Chain A
C-alpha cells in the first residue's frame, strides 16, 4: 500500500500540470479542474494497489476526472452542447495525453493563473507548487515548515479568490504578457530563495525547496523557450545551487563565499548554469534582471578563488543591474564588489548613503556589510557595533552565530 501511495505521488508530480490543464481546457474552470483531478487521485490510491499501475497513468487519471465531470453535469441535468461534446470525446481519452503543443499552451495558461495578480504571494506559491510542481499538500507544508492545515487553507482561499474574480482559463493579454511572466518568474525565484537562505528557523538552507524551484524553472523555460529571462532564471539557480555542498560545516554552521572550498562546488551544475545563460544570450535580446544576476553568479562560479575573481566585471554587472532594476539590495551588493575591486573606502561611501536614505531598515544586511567594511578600514569599535546590530536583526539562528563571532573577533 505504501508503494502505491508513493507511485501515485510520483505520477502526480510528473503529470499534474498536464492533467489539470487538460481538465481546465475542458471545463473552462481551473478550480473545478483541480477538484476533479484530486478526486481522481483518491480513486487511484484506492484502485491501483489491486488493479496495478496503469500503462499510461496520466491518461487514466485524466479519463477518470473527465468521467466525473460528465457525471456531475448529468446530475445537474445540463444537457447542453458542451456535455454532449464531452461524452462524445470520452472514448478518445486514452490518447489525449499524447497531444504535444496544445497541451503545452494549456499548461502555460495554468502557470499564469496559479500566479494570477488577484492572489496573494503565499497563495501563488502554494498553488504553483501544487498544480505545476505536482506536490502534495503535505509536501508543501514540510518544505515551508508550516502545518498542513495552513497550506490547505491557503489553497482553498486561493481557489475561492479565483472563482470570485471569475478568472478565465486564458493566457494574459499580449500587452500584459511581459509583466505577468515577470510575476511568474518572481514566484519561482521566491521559492528558490526561501530554500537558498532560509529567513526563519534553524535551517540555513532547505535544499529540497531550492531543488523544487529549479525544476519549476526548467519546466517554465521549456514552456517559454523564446523568453531569455526564463532561461536566465534557470542559469541563476543552477549557479547559486552549485555552491550548496560547500556552504555548511559538518556541525551546520554556515561558510561564507570567501571561505568556501571551491572543490566542493558542483561543477556539473555550474556547466548546466552556463549552458542555460548561453541559451538566454543566444536569443539575442540582451540581458535582463535574471540574466545579469546569473552573469554575476557565473563570475563567481568560474573563479578559482576570491582573489582571482573578476571583481571589476562584477561591479559593471551590478551597475547595469542597478539601472534596469534598481533596489537597495543590488546597491549593497555593488558596494561589496566595489570593496573587492577598489577598496573598502569607496564602498563604505555607498553603504553610508544607503543607510542615510533609510534603506533596508530592519534588515541585518546593511549593518553586516557596513561592519565588514569598517573592520577592513581598521575601525574596530564601530565595526563591532555594526555586527552586534546585525546579529539582533537577523531571523536566522546560524547567521546570528556568524555575526556574533565576527563581533567577538574584534
Chain B
C-alpha cells in the first residue's frame, strides 16, 4: 500500500521554524529521511518552495480559469512538503508518520494512494491508462 504524507504548517509553526536553528532542523529531517530509506519504504519525497514569485493558483470558477500569485489556501494551511511511502498496513503508515520530526502547530495529513486495483471494473478505463502514460511523459520519478 502506498501512502502520501502531506505536511501542513500553521503560522505559529512557521514562526517557530524561522526562529529555530536551521542546521538542527536539517539534521533531524535528514535523519528521518535516512530512516525511511534504510527501512526500504521511501518512494519519493520533496519540499515545496515558499516563494510567491514561483508559486501560483489556478481557480476554475471561471472559464478560462483564473491564475493568481501565491500558494493555495490560507497562510495557516500551507502544504510545505510531502513523502510517498510503501508499507504493508495503515498501522505501519501511522508509525512512520508519527516519527516525523515536526513541532507543535504542524500536522501531517496522510492519505492512501489509490492503485489500479481500487478501480475494479474501471481498471480497463482507457482514460486511466492514459493517466499512466501522462505520468511517464511528465517524468514523474
Comparing B3-11, B12-20, B37-45, B53-61, the segment that makes contact with chain A is: B37-45
Interchain CB contact under 8 A, A222 and B132: no
| CB interface residues, A 263-315, toward B, < 8 Å | 263-268, 270-272, 275
| CB-based nearest B residue for A219 | B40
Binds B, one of A76-84, A208-216, A316-324: A208-216
Contact with A along B113-141 (1 / 0, CB 8 A): 00010000001100001101101100111
Chain A residues lying within 8 Å of B89, measured Cβ to Cβ, are 6, 9-10
**A3 touches B (CB below 8 Å):** yes
| Complex alpha-carbon distance, A37 and B6, angstroms | 34
Is there an interface contact between B38 and A222, defined as CB atoms closer than 8 Å?
A: yes
* Contact indicator A218/B40 (Cβ below 8 Å): yes
Q: Is the CB of A3 within 8 A of B141?
A: no
Let me know if A217 is at the binding interface, CB within 8 A. yes
B96 within 8 A of A: yes
Q: How large is the interface on B (under 10, 10 to 19, 20 to 34, 35 or more residues)?
A: 20 to 34
Given A211-B86, A263-B129, A263-B130, CB of A217 within 8 Å of CB of B92: no
In the complex, what distance in Å separates the CA atom of A261 from the CA atom of B123? Answer: 12
B40 adjacent to A222 (CB under 8 Å): yes
In contact, B141 and A216 (Cβ under 8 angstroms): no
1/0 contact string of B94-123 vs chain A (CB within 8 Å): 111000000000000000000010000001
**A172 to B91 alpha-carbon distance, docked (Å):** 36
User: Cβ of A7 and Cβ of B91 under 8 Å apart?
Assistant: yes
Residues of B within 8 A of A57 (CB): 95
Does B88 contact A13, Cβ atoms closer than 8 Å? yes
Q: How far apart sit A262 and B23, CA to CA, in the bound complex (Å)?
A: 45
Are B129 and A219 in contact (CB-based, < 8 A)?
no
Asked whether B39 lies within 8 Å of A14 as measured between CB atoms, the reply is: yes
Interface residues of B in 40-96 (CB under 8 A from A): 40-41, 43-44, 86-92, 94-96
A408: interface (CB < 8 Å)? no
Complex Cα–Cα for A104 and B35 (A)? 11
Q: How large is the interface on A (under 10, 10 to 19, 20 to 34, 35 or more residues)?
A: 20 to 34
A267 to B92: give the CA distance in the assembly, Å.
25
Asked if A11 is at the interface of the complex by the 8 Å CB criterion, the answer is yes
Interface residues of A in 1-41 (CB under 8 A from B): 3, 6-7, 9-11, 13-14
Q: Tell me the residues in window 187-234 of chain A with beta carbons closer than 8 Å to chain B beta carbons.
A: 211, 214-219, 222-223
Residue of A nearest to B117 (CB): A245
What residue of chain A has the Cβ atom nearest to residue B2's Cβ? A268
The reply to whether A272 and B141 contact each other, CB–CB distance below 8 Å, is: yes
- The answer to whether A164 has its CB under 8 Å from any CB of chain B is no
- B92 near A264: Cβ-Cβ < 8 Å: no
Main secondary structure of the interface of A (DSSP, over half): helix
Contacts of B43 in A (CB 8 A): 268, 272
Q: Within the assembled complex, what's the spacing in Å between the Cα atoms of A10 and B131?
A: 32
Q: Which residues of the partner chain B approach A11 to less than 8 Å between Cβ atoms? A: 95
Residue of A nearest to B138 (CB): A267
**Chain B residues, Cβ within 8 Å of A7:** 91, 94-95
**Quick one: which of A6, A215, A266, A267 contacts B40, CB cutoff 8 A?**
A215
User: Which of A214, A264, A268 is the most central at the interface, judged by chain B CB atoms within 10 Å of its CB?
Assistant: A268
Residue on B nearest A214 in the bound complex, by CB: B40
Q: In the complex, what residues of A have CB within 8 A of residue B86's CB?
A: 211, 215
Q: Tell me the smallest distance from the CB of A208 to a CB of chain B, in Å.
A: 8
What's the minimum C-beta distance from B55 to chain A, rounded to whole angstroms? 24
Asked whether B129 lies within 8 Å of A261 as measured between CB atoms, the reply is yes
A9-B91, A10-B92, A10-B94 known; A268-B40 Cβ under 8 A = no
The CA of A272 and the CA of B2, in the complex, are separated in Å by 15
Q: Which residues of A contact B135 (CB under 8 A)?
A: 267-268
Residues of B within 8 A of A265 (CB): 132
Q: For A275, list chain B residues within 8 Å (CB).
A: 141
A357 beta carbon closer than 8 Å to chain B = no
Closest to B139 in A: A271
How far, in angstroms, from A271 to B116 measured CA to CA in the complex?
18
Residues of A within 8 A of B95 (CB): 7, 10-11, 14, 57
Query: Can you list 19 contacts pairing A with B, beta carbon distance less than 8 Å?
Result: A3-B91, A6-B90, A7-B91, A7-B95, A10-B88, A14-B95, A14-B96, A216-B40, A217-B40, A218-B37, A219-B38, A222-B38, A245-B116, A264-B129, A264-B132, A268-B43, A268-B44, A268-B135, A270-B136
Chain A contact residues, CB within 8 Å of chain B: 3, 6-7, 9-11, 13-14, 57, 104, 211, 214-219, 222-223, 245, 250, 261, 263-268, 270-272, 275
20 more A-B residue pairs beyond the given contacts A7-B95, A215-B39, A218-B40, with a C-beta to C-beta distance below 8 A: A6-B89, A6-B91, A10-B89, A10-B94, A104-B38, A211-B86, A214-B40, A218-B41, A222-B37, A222-B38, A250-B123, A263-B130, A266-B132, A267-B132, A267-B135, A267-B136, A267-B140, A268-B44, A272-B43, A272-B141
Using a CB–CB cutoff of 8 Å, the interface residues on chain B facing chain A are 37-41, 43-44, 86-92, 94-96, 116, 123-124, 129-130, 132-133, 135-136, 139-141
The 8 closest A-B pairs by CB, nearest first: A218-B40, A267-B136, A215-B40, A10-B91, A271-B141, A10-B92, A222-B38, A263-B129
